[in-house]
Amino acid sequence: MAVEQVFHMNGGVGETSYANNSSVQKKVMMRARTILEESINKMFCTNLPTCLKVADLACSSGPDALLVASNIIDIVNETSLRLKVETPTFQFFLSDLFGNDFNAIFKSLPEFYHTLKQDTRCLINATPGTFYGSLFPSNSIHFFHSSFSLH
């Protein structure tokens, strides 16, 4: 069987889960926030859709998967306020290999939605598959993010 069909991080929230063993990856993501801000600001100059479609390639499971979404929402909200433009609706496509524990992400969604500001409209979708293949229709994603996924 092809590696992409069986490879996955440890699911769930137990002691050996990816969720509980990814603090280095979280630090990397926090350090890269400036690059994220610069990229989003550049995107604002050329394109500001009413529904911002974002894909996170190799999202894995656990808190990092939704940290990407909250960082992007915060940056876009701050920039929209500064530029006095309306904040878009957010649609996130969390993507990883077929064996990824997407269910663990789904279970944490109610809590995640609860943390968002009341006027933030955000939809989360899952897109299983390899980033070496075709994941989305042409020209359907405004912003791609991926962290700690090429080794």
Which burial class, exposed, middle or buried, applies to 61 when counting CB atoms under 10 A from its CB (0-12, 13-18, 19+)?
buried
Report if residue 59 touches ligand SAM, rule: CB under 6 A: yes
CB of 101 within 8 A of CB of 64?
Answer: no
* Residue 93, strand partner residues: 55, 125
From the list 5-13, 33-41, 108-116, 118-126, the region that binds ligand SAM by CB under 6 A is 5-13
Which residue reads 């876009």 in tokens? 76
- Number of chain positions touching ligand SAM (CB under 6 A): 20
In the bound state with ligand SAM, the residue whose beta carbon lies nearer, of 88 and 92, is: 92
Token pair in block for residue 87: 């904040």
Contacts to ligand SAM from residues 15-44, by CB under 6 A: 22, 25, 29
Catalog residues that contact ligand SAM under the rule CB under 6 A: 4, 7-9, 22, 25, 29, 58-60, 64, 96-97, 100, 130-132, 147-149
